[in-house]
Amino acid sequence: YESDDDSYEVLDLTEYARRHHWWNRVFGHSSGPMVEKYSVATQIVMGGVSGWCAGFLFQKVGKLAATAVGGGFLLL
């Protein structure tokens, strides 16, 4: 069953990247997946550090937001 309303065009990104040379200039030839660039240990350390930093940041922002909302209720 095919309908004109339900037809979609499939875009193959690998073919698109091969046909457009600016892609290589922007991202370089070594812009493959992270798995190919770094070892497993490096990926685990990078993930752990970035996760810790995100948790610390959200903790501080969450406390500030809770204080602002609570202070707003007290002022009301």
pLDDT higher for 7 or 56? 56
Tokens 């698109």 correspond to what residue? 16
What phi and psi, each to the nearest 5 degrees, are found at residue 39? -75, 170
Q: How far is CA 71 from CA 47, 63, 65, in A?
A: 36, 12, 10
Which range (19-28, 44-53, 55-64) has the least confidence? 19-28
pLDDT in tens, 11-29: 777 777 677 666 666 666 6
Global confidence as pTM: 0.48
Asked if 69 and 61 count as a contact pair (C-beta separation under 8 A), the reply is: no
The string of DSSP letters for 34-69 reads HHHHS-HHHHHHHHHHHHHHHHHHHHHHHHHHHHHH
